[in-house]
Amino acid sequence: MPGPAATPAAMSSRPLNVRPSYLHLPAGSWPTVLDCLCARFPQISRDTWLARMARGLVLDDQDRPLGPEAPYREALRVQYFREIENERKIPFQAQVLHLDAHLLVADKPHFLPVMPAGDYAEETLLTRLVRETGNPHLAPLHRIDRHTAGLVLFSTTPASRGAYQALFREKRIDKRYQAIAPALPQHKFPLRHRSRLEKGEPFFRMREVAGEANSETLLEVLEKRDALWRYRLFPVSGKQHQLRVHMAALGAPILNDTFYPELVDEKGVDDFSRPLKLLAHSLEFVDPLSGEMRRFESRLELSW
């Protein structure tokens, strides 16, 4: 049985139109859900979990509030609402470019995360769009880096989500990016770069290593301006930070990249005046429901 029900006042503090995070409780011998949460998330204090429970921000899979005495049960699906104290505001707005019964297409600004994670809960594209549309069923069909701007495709309903997720899983969607980076006059274009990418150090960076290639990018040159060129990038594969790593490996790190080729600021403090010059520019695919060709293009531009 769930723990004591939250008071009406606590229930009213539950965030409106904000999706919770989920945890299936792991195997263990904790007496209560609270004890399990404290062990699973040691960086979050017991007092913080108690405060969340008091305000109705920890629920079971039936949306019933869980109190401090709620007994632990292996595999119980717990919902909780993440809160970041003094979460930094992102002073840039996303724009909805398209909305229908199945899809939402948004133009994401630089610095805004797609999903809640790490130091971001409220200041994310998903949270903002759920609030703006009032649709708690929104779910991103793919992700782009927090530092990258441009198109993100969302499913608006679970009924057709699988059909659109398959486009990405089966690589039936054409994704094109633009980047501003140093000139590469020593290479002939179009240029194909293939390499093996693995996790690096710190954990959020990737690196090229010896071995069979698992990533591939096709590069074209769109515009030349002295020492800087504008490139069109086609990620054939979709590894984390792939475009940033590949450009750095070619000797042309993307302008204002603080991760590659060297980590400039390990603390990750954003300089909003120096955005990464990388833009998810277009998406094109055959709609799995209607069979029509669909193309979406960002309205954002990379300035020199």
Reported as a pLDDT band with limits 50, 70 and 90, residue 22 is: confident
According to DSSP, the residues that pair with 224 across neighbouring strands are 229
- pLDDT bin (cut points 50, 70, 90) of residue 285 is very high
Distance CA 49, CA 68 (A): 9
According to CATH, the topology of domain 95-297 is Pseudouridine synthase (3.30.2350)
How far apart, in whole angstroms, are the C-alpha atoms of residue 129 and residue 105? 11
What does the pLDDT average to over 177-204?
Answer: 96
Q: Beta strand pairing status for 206-209 and 173-182?
A: unpaired
Instruction: Report how far Cα 205 is from the mean position of its chain's Cα atoms.
Output: 15
pLDDT attached to residue 297: 98
Question: Quick one: CA torsion of 103, 130, 133, 162, rounded to 10 degrees?
Answer: 20
CATH architecture, domain 8-80: Roll (3.10)
Write down the mean pLDDT value for the chain: 91
Q: CATH 3.30.2350.10 region(s) of the chain?
A: 95-297
pLDDT over 60 (residue 222): yes
| 206-216 per-position pLDDT tens digit | 999 999 999 99
pLDDT, tens digit (0-9, with 9 covering 90-100), for 243-263: 999 999 999 999 999 999 999
Ranges of CATH 3.10.290 domains, the chain? 8-80
What backbone torsions phi and psi does residue 296 show, to the nearest 5 degrees?
Answer: -125, 140
Cα 62–chain centre separation: 27
pLDDT tier, 121 (very low <50, low <70, confident <90, very high otherwise): confident
Give Cα 143 distance to the centre of its chain.
5
For the chain, state the CA radius of gyration.
Answer: 22
289 has a pLDDT exceeding 90: yes
Q: Is the pLDDT of residue 13 over 70?
A: no
In the prediction, which pLDDT does 12 show?
40
Residues 93-120: tens digit of each pLDDT: 999 999 999 999 999 999 999 988 777 8
Nearest to 152 by CA among 98, 214, 107: 107
Determine what percent of the chain is predicted with pLDDT higher than 90: 76
Across 73-87, 171-185, 231-245, least confident range:
73-87
Lowest mean pLDDT across 29-33, 39-43, 244-248, 259-263: 39-43
- Measured CA to CA in angstroms, residue 263 lies from 43, 112, 243, 277, 298 at distances of 25, 20, 16, 17, 29
pLDDT of residue 292: 97
Confidence of residue 151 (pLDDT cuts 50, 70, 90): very high
Please determine, for residue 7, whether its predicted confidence score (pLDDT) is greater than 50. Answer: no
| Number of Cα atoms under 13 Å in the Cβ half of residue 192 | 6
Question: Taking 50 as the threshold, does the pLDDT of residue 51 lie above it?
Answer: yes
